[in-house]
């Protein structure tokens, strides 16, 4: 193969992959906010999501996602993914849960109920939530209130605090049809 042929092949492959990524990729609303609008072609379930990257994370390792479905069924739920271990295991193999405190804008901080928090299988770097706490987060973000999440517990040297901007959240939320 000549160098020109390899270069042409690589360029065509890149264009093909770029087209696939655009067709199936997420839409960038701003630097920290993306959404993906998708409907399951068999069940017509809205499987979209909104992803808000943490404002201080330059690598894109820390994000809060609001998902429109769970295992193919309509259910709005959120996941926080960080670059640090959030739910380590103790010596007996039990999860060590952090205390989770949330704040929207200048509202009073609140803690989600234990029943609203759950771990995802095969990961110690994510925590998920649903219920009234997630509803409250969505309403706050729609009102333009930033989300601040603090994780604390004996497994951390110091509390971990993450900030997620609400800038243009309404655009992304409308882009996923408010998960309806």
- CATH code (residue 84): 2.60.40
Virtual torsion, Cα 83, 151, 85, 167, nearest 10 deg: -20
Judge whether 9 and 3 are in contact, CB under 8 Å. Answer: no
CA pair distance 28, 53, nearest whole angstrom = 11
How far is residue 95 from each of residues 46, 87, 127, 161, measured CA to CA in Å? 32, 6, 12, 20
Q: C-alpha angle with apex 40: 37 to 44, nearest 5 degrees?
A: 100
Q: What is the pLDDT of residues 66-84, one digit of tens each?
A: 999 998 999 999 999 999 8
Structural domain span for residue 33: 3-179
Percent of the chain at pLDDT above 70?
87
Structural domain tally of the chain? 1
Q: What is the pTM of this model?
A: 0.83
Residue 99 has phi, psi (to 5 degrees) of -80, 135
Looking up tokens 């971990």 gives 160
């Amino acid at each position: 193969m000549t160098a020109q042929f390899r270069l042409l092949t690589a360029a065509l492959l890149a264009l093909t992959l770029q087209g696939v990524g655009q067709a199936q990729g997420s839409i960038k609303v701003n630097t920290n906010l993306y959404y993906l609008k998708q409907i399951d072609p068999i069940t017509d379930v809205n499987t979209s999501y909104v992803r808000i990257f943490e404002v201080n994370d330059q690598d894109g390792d820390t994000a809060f996602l609001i998902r429109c479905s769970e295992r193919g069924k309509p259910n709005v739920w959120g996941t926080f993914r960080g670059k640090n271990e959030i739910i380590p295991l103790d010596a007996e193999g039990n999860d060590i849960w952090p205390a989770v405190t949330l704040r929207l804008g200048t509202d009073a901080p609140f803690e989600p109920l234990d029943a609203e928090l759950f771990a995802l299988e095969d990961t110690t770097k994510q925590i998920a939530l649903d219920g009234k706490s997630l509803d409250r987060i969505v309403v706050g973000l729609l009102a333009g209130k930033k989300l601040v999440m603090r994780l604390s517990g004996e497994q951390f040297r110091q509390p971990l605090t993450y900030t997620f901007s609400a800038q243009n959240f309404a655009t992304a939320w409308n882009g996923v049809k408010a998960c309806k």
